[in-house]
Each structure stands twice: as C-alpha cells, then as structure tokens.
Amino acid sequence: MDLQTSKIELAKLILNLDNPSILEKIRNLVLTEQGSFTLTDVEKEEIQIAINQLNKGNRASFESFIEKVK
C-alpha cells in the first residue's frame, strides 16, 4: 500500500471515530512525532565543521560525493 492510500484510509478511520479520548490520543501522537526530530551533539558538531569548510571555500563536486558514498 502506498503512502497516499494509507493516509486516505487513516483519515477515513479518524472521521468515523466517535470517542473523543481516542481522537485526543491520535492528535497527541501526531503532534509529538512531528517534533521528535533531534540531532546528537556529534551530528551537530559534524554539521558545524561542514559549514566552516564551506565558508572557507572547501567544496566537493556532486560527482565526487557520489563516488565516496557508493
């Protein structure tokens, strides 16, 4: 099942709910999961290093990046 179909089916289920408690739980779950993306300190440090390298003009071509990640 593709993502769009899953969303439509979930929306139908939610529209047919009559229990406010369940609706509130679904609402809280969605709101919590949307804001749950966080970076570790190591990831933040690596991003800052990359930004500093870019600011100094140290760049890599897309092709060389692709070769490294293959």
User: Please, are residues 5 and 11 in contact by the beta-carbon 8 Å criterion?
Assistant: no
Give Cα 65 to chain centroid, integer Å: 22
Length of the chain: 70
- 45 and 70, same domain (yes or no): yes
The pTM (predicted TM-score) of the whole model is 0.46
Total of domains in the chain: 2
Q: What is the pLDDT along the chain (70 residues), one digit of tens a residue?
A: 788 999 999 999 999 989 999 999 998 888 888 776 778 889 889 889 888 988 898 887 778 878 877 7
Domain range for residue 60? 38-70
- 44 and 66, same domain (yes or no): yes
- 42 and 54, same domain (yes or no): yes
Structure tokens at 16: 């047919």
- 42 and 64, same domain (yes or no): yes
- 13 and 28, same domain (yes or no): yes
- 28 and 44, same domain (yes or no): no
